[in-house]
A and B are shown apart, each in its own frame.
Chain A
Amino acid sequence: MDFSQTHFELFGLPQSFALDRDKLDAAYRELQNTVHPDRFAAQPEAEQRVAMQWATQVNEAYQTLRHAVNRGVYLLKLQGIDAFDASNTRMAPAFLMQQMEWREAIEDARAGKHMAVLDSLTDDLRAAHRRIEAQLAELIDTAHDYEAASEAVRQLRFMDKLIAEIGDVYEELES
């Protein structure tokens, strides 16, 4: 296993935030078909062990590229930048305001048990998520503005947390 190889190289994909999801999925399937421990269950132990290491690595690479936040963080890391470095926490005031409003809206929906409001909030958040992803592609792939990209990655993670919180509220209201 060549650990100097990037996840993009592993799947034969260009190193960019913009992603051809079908190509990633096809390459992932092809690689797991080749290295998965189920392919070596009847083989000697040494081969089974190597298969487990490889399949673990392929899963890790796939999960990194598949999710927008992970992919952004990884691309920045390849540029030597830690998006979540403690000294690197700048966040636009407008986004923070928006974020607080969303939080309040979720809390209100929870208190009032308004499922329909939660549904529409989820849609809003997903739409905003897609907008930031598009910006991130522009910032990383075209503008090479990694500082602004770091902020966009942090925003995305905020959004993911909010979406997860809505999930918890659904769970609470349904039970």
Chain B
Amino acid sequence: MALLQIAEPGMTTAPHQHRLAVGIDLGTTNSLVATVRSALAVVLDDEAGHSLLPSVVRYHANGDVDVGYAAQSAQNSDPHNTIVSVKRFMGRGIADIDDIASLPYRFVNAPGMVQLKTAAGVKSPVEVSAEILKVLRRRAEAALGGELVGAVITVPAYFDDAQRQATKDAAQLAGLNVLRLLNEPTAAAIAYGLDNASEGVYAVYDLGGGTFDISILKLSKGVFEVLATHGDSALGGDDFDQRIFCWMVEQGRFAPLSAGDMRLLLTKARDAKEALTEHTEVRVTAVLSTGEMMDATLTQAGFNAMTAGLVNKTLAPTRKALRDSGLAVDEVKGVVMVGGSTRMPCIRQAVADFFKQTPLTNLDPDKVVALGAAMQADVLAGNRAGDDWLLLDVIPLSLGLETMGGLTEKVIPRNTTIPTARAQEFTTFKDGQTAMSVHVLQGERELASDCRSLARFELRGIPPMVAGAARIRVTFQVDADGLLSVAAREQSSGVEASVQVKPSYGLGDEDITRMLKDAFTHAKDDMFARALNEQIVDAQGLIAATRAALAADAALLDETETAAIEAGIAALEKRMGGIDHLAIKRGIEALNAATTEFAQRRMDQNVRRAMAGQKLETFG
């Protein structure tokens, strides 16, 4: 037998081998991919030297898909099939989209998430996002010269469970192993904090193309602790464009617009907004397909007046986040600006006035999130040793259940540090009641109908008892990605039911499988070979890690236990010789199950060692 390396917990089993991992900022307007190379985070460019990939996807009738600049250039001529700012539709139903009348798409009112009718068929926002992620994955694999171990994907901190789940589904569809969903402001804080070796309380003000986040973080001894987060997942630069768009329609006294003209004016509106960052006024002209035209001057003062309401809309969540963190304005040491929209002078001024200090803008607001995500991906892939920082993030919105009378009962309050679990007991309302419906909600409002519905499921088979006698324990678990799973159990009978919170707003596993099949058929990829390869790589990793654990901590097991794990390894190795990827998958599951107790004992030992060191430090 070969010599085994002894791995410390949390380190890779092969410390010398650099594992390829990336950070991806999946933005409303632009997306980026970054990685850590020779200890330095860098954004990866495409062949033409562009680092930004416009988050625009165009579908052709023959099934071809353009992503990025090629798609962007067609947005005026082919507006129905060219999807811009798809992030705004992730995990959202048709009723959630306010400005639906001024969007040039053919929406399909699907249950849960809205869908879009294109020349290549009906597409879900998850599929559209996956196209963007695929391009970034290929860009990274070409630049790094190998397959990725995994990716950290950033999401707005204020994204709810449905939006997070949709993002994770999109990554899965794009063939990415998600190491973690990371909140965008937290990612920016990593890039800033580590760059400047900061300590103290920082605010991250993140205004992107379609989302706004504000996070208050405490940086202390390598720990990034999010104290509070707030935001608006439907507020961003697009809304500022919309205001200019309305002004242009007014100026030109236009008749109802065609989809192409609508897109033309929106594009012109964005150009005008960007010009006003550098200039005090800008001339705006447009000629529509109908021959109608407009020609007017927009001043910075005029722009500020028409968008003052939007700027104020970012300050209300900022106040709330600060209050939730229990801090005053003068306790905030620095304010980090993130997102392209923070280039607008009116935003910089409003933030400076609010926090009574000049905000930090020394890192590129378009790249800082991707850079921070790349740094975190490097840590999670196990490429660093010992000097890792630690992130302690929170959930942005309270999680709860619907109770009698359509009211919300909060189970986990907003700004709770994750991972977290909380249980609540409920009882039956009627004599002989044998089923109970569980409605999972997210939001701060008192009425269930005002909160977001995440899932509904039923606990059946409760033994008939008098009203109030059954004890139903509902447990919420939020993992480190901020994703919720819920389980219900009747205590006396042990009847159980549980859900991964997916059904009402995310996609079911069958949907994902179908989309994967579609994608592979089109790409003429050999899905079978790919699945087999993936399982073999996973199995090799698991066996290596298990052997390393056995070599390090064999003393924690007796002979029978060691033999059982060895048998699990042997069984898996035998399956790896075959070509049945499902058999290998089952072997992996079996070995994972066989090592659970061992993993627990190893963790107990780690904790004892850590706390022993703590005592020495404290008393020494």
- Footprint of B on A, CB under 8 Å? 1-2, 12, 23, 26-27, 29-47, 49-52, 54-56, 59-60, 62-63, 167, 170-171, 174-175
| B5 CB → nearest A CB, Å | 14
- B618 to A38, Cβ gap below 8 A? no
Q: Which of A2, A36, A45 contacts B592 (CB 8 A)?
A: A45
Contact among B221, B391, B392, B545 for A44, CB-based, below 8 A: B545
Contact call A171/B149, Cβ cutoff below 8 A: no
* Cβ of B603 under 8 Å from chain A: yes
A170 and B323 contacting across the interface, CB-CB below 8 Å: yes
B223 at the interface (CB under 8 A from A): yes
Let me know if B308 is at the binding interface, CB within 8 A.
no
Q: What are 10 A-B pairs at a CB distance below 8 A?
A: A1-B600, A29-B390, A30-B614, A33-B390, A36-B390, A36-B392, A40-B9, A42-B12, A42-B149, A49-B596
Q: How far is it, in angstroms, between the C-alpha of A36 and the C-alpha of B10 when the chains are bound?
A: 9
CB neighbors of A among B315-330 (8 A): 316, 319-320, 323
- Residue in contact with A34 in the complex, picked from B323, B477, B607, CB distance below 8 Å: B607
Question: Taking the nearest CB of chain A, how far is it from the CB of B581, in angstroms?
Answer: 17
Q: A42-B380, A46-B599 are in contact. Are A27 and B614 (CB under 8 A)?
A: yes
Report if B136 contacts A (CB, 8 A): no
For B319, list chain A residues within 8 Å (CB): 170-171, 174
The answer to whether A167 and B419 touch (CB under 8 A), given A38-B391, A50-B600, is no
* 10 tightest A-B CB contacts, nearest first: A39-B10, A41-B380, A42-B382, A34-B610, A37-B480, A46-B599, A50-B599, A46-B596, A47-B599, A46-B592
In the complex, are the beta carbons of A46 and B595 less than 8 A apart?
A: yes
Nearest CB in chain B: distance from A20 CB, A: 9
Known: A42-B12, A56-B419. 8 other contacts (CB 8 A): A26-B614, A30-B613, A33-B610, A38-B391, A41-B179, A42-B380, A47-B603, A63-B417
* Residues on the A chain within 8 Å of B420, using CB: 56, 59-60
A41 contacts which chain B residues (CB < 8 A)?
150, 179-180, 380-382
Query: In the bound complex, do residue A1 and residue B380 qualify as a contact, i.e. CB atoms below 8 Å apart?
Result: no
CB closest chain-B residue, reference A22 = B618
Which residues of the other chain, A, contact B167 by a CB distance below 8 angstroms? none
B residues near A47, Cβ cutoff 8 Å: 545, 599, 602-603
Least CB distance, B123 to chain A, in whole angstroms: 31
The 8 Å CB contact of B419, one of A29, A52, A63, is A52
Bound state CA distance, A42 and B179, in angstroms? 8
Closest-CB distance, A73 to chain B (whole angstroms): 15
**Complex contacts, A42 vs chain B, CB 8 Å:** 12, 19, 149, 179, 380-382
* Interface range, B side: 35 or more
Q: Is the CB of A59 within 8 A of B603?
A: no
How many whole Å from B146's CB to the nearest CB in chain A?
16
Binding site for A on B (CB under 8 A): 9-10, 12, 19, 149-150, 179-180, 220-221, 223, 316, 319-320, 323, 376, 379-382, 388, 390-392, 416-421, 477, 479-480, 541-542, 545-546, 591-593, 595-596, 598-600, 602-604, 606-607, 610-611, 613-615, 617-618
Chain A residue numbers with a CB within 8 Å of B220 are 29
A35–B603 contact, CB under 8 A? yes
- Which of chain A's residues have a CB closer than 8 A to the CB of B417? 59, 62-63
Q: B418 → chain A, closest Cβ, in Å?
A: 8
Q: Whole-angstrom distance from the CB of A69 to the nearest CB of chain B?
A: 14
Contact B323 A167 (CB under 8 A): yes
- Known contacts A30-B613, A45-B592, A46-B592; A52/B603 CB under 8 A: no
**Residues in chain A near residue B223, CB distance under 8 A:** 29, 32-33
A55 to chain B, nearest CB (A): 5
Chain A residue at smallest Cβ distance from B320: A171
**Are A35 and B618 neighbours in the complex by a CB distance under 8 Å?**
no
What distance in Å separates the Cβ of A47 from its nearest Cβ neighbour in chain B? 5
B606 near A175 (CB under 8 angstroms)?
Answer: no
B316, A175: Cβ atoms under 8 Å? yes
Alpha-carbon gap, A104 to B71, bound state (A): 61
**Chain A: which residue is nearest B479 at the CB level?**
A52
Contacts of A27 in B (CB 8 A): 611, 614
With A42-B19, A56-B421 as given contacts, are A30 and B390 in contact (CB-CB < 8 Å)?
A: no
Q: How far is the CA of A35 from the CA of B381 in the complex (A)?
A: 16
- CB atoms of A59 and B419 under 8 A apart: yes
> What residues of chain B lie closer than 8 Å to A59, measured between beta carbons?
416-420
> Are A44 and B542 interface neighbours, CB within 8 A?
yes
Name the distance in Å between A62's Cβ and chain B's nearest Cβ: 8
With both beta carbons as reference points, the residue of chain A lying nearest to B611 in the complex is identified as: A12
Which of B10, B392, B479, B591 has the most chain A CB within a 10 Å cutoff? B10
Residues in chain B near residue A175, CB distance under 8 A = 316
Which residues in A have their C-beta under 8 angstroms from that of B388?
A: 39
Q: Contacting B390 at CB < 8 Å: which of A32, A45, A60? A: A32
B440 to chain A, nearest CB (A): 18
* A32-B392 in contact (CB<8A): yes
Q: Do B593 and A46 touch across chains, with their CB atoms under 8 A apart?
A: yes
- What residues of chain A lie closer than 8 Å to B592, measured between beta carbons? 44-46
Q: Are A12 and B599 in contact (CB under 8 A)?
A: no
Question: Chain A residues near B477 (CB, 8 Å)?
Answer: 52, 56
**Chain A residues, Cβ within 8 Å of B19:** 42
Q: Once bound together, how far apart are the Cα atoms of A2 and B618, in whole Å?
A: 23
